[in-house]
Structure 1
Amino acid sequence: MEFVIPNPANLALFVSAALVLLVIPGPSVLYIVAQSIEQGRRAGLVSDLGIHTATLVHVGAAALGLSALLASSALAFGIVKYAGAAYLVWLGLKKLCTPPTPAAIDAAPRRRRYARLYRDGFIVNLLNPKTALFFLAFLPQFVDVGRGHVAMQIVFLGLLFTALGLVSDACYALAASAAGRWLRQSRGYLAAERYLGGALLIGLGITAAFTGSSKK
């Protein structure tokens, strides 16, 4: 089957619109920033990879029409939405309830396994129905129906958006890790870091749960 992409005009418009959307920080960006500040550049980049691996799942779902099913079912939307919110809140509570060791104030921050960071980033974005609905609403606007193979065009646009997002979020991770190195020199920040990080994750979960409570 011939591989078809949208026409150049649609493609240029898509890239421009995608870049505008990507520079606006959302929950995924805030999650990456939090991990980068706390644990450094590699942690932020691994979280970025996990998040955008889940983005690929949403792209495939959009191409297969599963996002349309999610959008049409209030029950399915609610289950996925609140599961994702609860996971963020659980991560935040876990952080708040895990006090640092007495030597942690004077030592380098404890590193989590990269596999766990990747998994958490993947789950955070996978259990975000707004990502699925975003692709359902956004990608078709730039599909050239006259060229046919609509599903293939959606996959192409989704892969392009994922690549752009991977790069833009990596920039956030690098910037946040640089700021994190400066912040970690502050004893006051080190003492309060778990409260700040835990509150941020819980806040993201609450925001995900109560922002846009209607599936429409």
Structure 2
Amino acid sequence: MLIEPSQLLLFMLAGWLLNLTPGPDVLYMVSRSLRGGRRAGFAALAGIISGCLVHVALASLGLGVLLATSATLFTVIKWIGAAYLLWVGVRLLRNTGESTLQADVAASSGSAGSFWQVFAGGFLTNVLNPKVVLFFLAFLPQFIAPSVQNKPLAFALLGLIFTVNGLPISAAYVLAADRVRSSRWAARGLQWLDKLAGVLFIGFGLRLALTARPVA
């Protein structure tokens, strides 16, 4: 048995609580939804989910352990991820008026190219954060039943369950932001929301840059 029945509910509840916690992924989804509506928000969500699946695959194949134990690899990925978050933050701070996040507006009208642009942003926001794979390495094993023989397969399945389990929370963020977007004051406040999102992205980037590799 992959996971004890008594542990499954605890696993799902923990997953919901963790997905409720704001971070770069949530901020990216919300900011895209506020600008481009639910289409842009779900494009961002699809990119983030794809990034999560990459992390699950890496951890299942044992490559996540390499990241956790290699100071050089961890540092390289950490700095690339931090630089990307800082770049997104600075871009948001420098955006003005109609030029702000045009890809989101185009994505809301169904433009395939813009959909993939927003998708790519979500994917990079997630996949360039080494803390995600380290989280999976620390969180998932404690829920795998001791009797399981194929640990990598069990890890991959639990990672998939965790990712799918978080979809309702992520979708709720997207839909809530889309609803706020349609309110009367939203048009006047979008530029200020961009500035706030920019500051938060810079904060997340700095926090990632200052993250030390966990010592085994």
Q: How many residues align?
A: 206
In structure 2, the partner of 1:14 is: 11
In structure 2, the partner of 1:207 is: 207
In structure 1, the partner of 2:198 is: 198
Q: CA deviation at 1:78?
A: 1.2
* Structure 2: distance between partners of 1:27 and 1:185: 22
C-alpha change, 1:150 and 1:202, in structure 2 (3 Å) is same
* Structure 2: distance between partners of 1:199 and 1:184: 21
Residue identity matched to 2:4: N
* Structure 1: distance between partners of 2:48 and 2:98: 30
Q: Where do 1:144-159 residues align within 5 Å? A: 144-159=145-160
In structure 2, the partner of 1:84 is: 81
In structure 2, the partner of 1:67 is: 64
Q: CA deviation at 1:6?
A: 2.1
* Mapped pair 1:51 → 2:52: no
* Structure 1: distance between partners of 2:197 and 2:152: 40
Q: Where do 1:92-171 residues align within 5 Å? A: 92-101=89-98, 110-111=105-106, 113-171=114-172
Q: CA deviation at 1:25?
A: 1.9
Residue identity matched to 1:202: I
Q: CA deviation at 1:191?
A: 4.6
* Structure 1: distance between partners of 2:169 and 2:192: 29
Bigger mean CA deviation after superposition, 62-71 or 19-28: 19-28
1:85-108, Cα deviation, whole Å (9 max, x unpaired) = 111111222333443349x8xxxx
Does the CA contact (< 8 Å) of 2:96 and 2:191 recur in 1?
no
C-alpha change, 1:145 and 1:34, in structure 2 (3 Å) is same
Note the aligned Cα RMSD (angstroms).
2.2
* Structure 1: distance between partners of 2:93 and 2:120: 20
SS at match of 2:97: coil
Residue identity matched to 1:57: V
Using the size of structure 1 for normalisation, the TM-score is 0.85
Q: CA deviation at 1:163?
A: 0.4
* Structure 1: distance between partners of 2:193 and 2:123: 23
Percent of residue pairs bearing the same amino acid type: 40
Using the size of structure 2 for normalisation, the TM-score is 0.85
Question: Structure 1, unaligned stretches of length 5 or more?
Answer: none
Bigger mean CA deviation after superposition, 132-141 or 14-23: 14-23
Does the CA contact (< 8 Å) of 1:71 and 1:215 recur in 2?
yes
* Mapped pair 1:173 → 2:170: no
Question: Structure 2, unaligned stretches of length 5 or more?
Answer: 108-113
* Structure 2: distance between partners of 1:51 and 1:169: 10
